[in-house]
Chains A and B, each alone.
Chain A
């Protein structure tokens, strides 16, 4: 039988043995763990979508796909445009054929397996287009759930994926309430909008912003009070998508409607 002294000795050994690997993981360094959440960087990119201005030409989707080498014919896309048609009897019909890569050229609404739906012009109460992209949330749920640290948020607020580190579990894809993530058809890793990080960091605008002929998309720095985008966001009636998830999305919508999903 063990006596007390022996017991203490063994407990110490076991406790020590447990602590060493934990400290080696180096994850629970409190000083680093409490690393500022409210960082004081000078840049925080935000995006502004003006629903009133969008005509559904899809040039943004085309430009994004080419600029970022998103496989042209694959049925996934980093950004897309949705068409909303609300009928007089209150029905909401939504579609986004091929993510609107080729624009909206037909009045028929694509209901996928349920076929094409034709609505008579006189039955339409309102119709509009809503561009969508990654919201680069302040609390990105997709980043929170990545088991290996392959996706992360930069100091200036852009959520990126490390293509050499992603294990392809799909948890981030499931964790995003906005459906912006997917698997890259060739690289087989999680893929998403980078807010054209390569362009932004060179002082350019994103490819979709440059492509939009009507100024429906804009990108700006919310930390700069002189930025025109910041001015609109702070002074006008803007909205975000699915606010109830607590993700604090950073893509703001002007003229969004309650039907927008």
Chain B
């Protein structure tokens, strides 16, 4: 070739071509501009479906009624009526197939999430009867005395003479 000055340009072109070829091989076909335009919607479309397929673990309290009607009846008109079963028993997953039984959290940590006394007068927390977890019978689990599904009652399982009935 007469003019050697253009030679580096060939290498440049080869590199550009290389990038474009890898691009066609590497980038999924459905990668493109979505509904939100290039600025906010530049993505691989099939990823939306992948997120939609993510497994649901919390099935909400409505599914429990079917088999645990007794517990549901206990709780529904009690002060704890608004608390979903899965908050205290963990997610349903595919219970009772898998897991067979659900977790029963008997720890004090569960109850003091709401019942540890905090002195914030105007917050909703003030409307929940509070105790001082350090002073309120620290030697025992709350459910030894209180029935979680209806805290106005004492726990039938652990009848404790000290507790009001």
Please say whether the chains A and B touch (CB closer than 8 A).
yes
Interface residues of A (CB under 8 A from B): 17, 21, 24, 27, 32-37, 39, 41, 52-59, 62-63, 66-68, 85, 102-107, 121, 124, 126-129, 139-140, 143-144, 149-155, 160, 162, 164-165, 194, 197-199, 201-202, 204, 207, 210-211, 213-216
User: Number of residues in B with C-beta < 8 Å to the partner?
Assistant: 54
Structural contact, A105 and B33, CB atoms closer than 8 A: no
- B66: Cβ under 8 A from any A Cβ: no
Structural contact, A35 and B86, CB atoms closer than 8 A: no
Q: Which chain B residue lies CB-closest to A139?
A: B40
List 9 tightest A-B contacts by C-beta distance, closest first.
Answer: A127-B120, A103-B113, A152-B43, A121-B119, A155-B35, A149-B42, A198-B54, A105-B116, A162-B47
Query: In this complex, which of B9, B56, B118 has the most chain A Cβ atoms within 10 angstroms of its Cβ?
Result: B118
Q: Which residues of the other chain, A, contact B122 by a CB distance below 8 angstroms?
A: 126-128
Contact of A55 with B114 at beta-carbon distance under 8 Å, contacts A127-B119, A153-B36, A202-B56 already known: yes
Contact of A154 with B20 at beta-carbon distance under 8 Å, contacts A144-B39, A210-B60 already known: no
Query: What are 13 contact pairs spanning A and B, CB under 8 A?
Result: A35-B35, A63-B87, A104-B118, A152-B34, A160-B51, A162-B43, A165-B44, A194-B51, A198-B52, A198-B54, A202-B52, A202-B56, A204-B60
Give how many A-B residue pairs fall within 8 Å (CB-CB): 178
Structural contact, B37 and A37, CB atoms closer than 8 A: yes
- B68: Cβ under 8 A from any A Cβ: no
Residues in B1-56 with C-beta less than 8 Å from chain A: 9, 13, 16, 19-20, 23, 31-44, 47-48, 51-56
Q: How far is the CB of B26 from chain A (nearest CB, A)?
A: 11
Structural contact, A207 and B47, CB atoms closer than 8 A: no
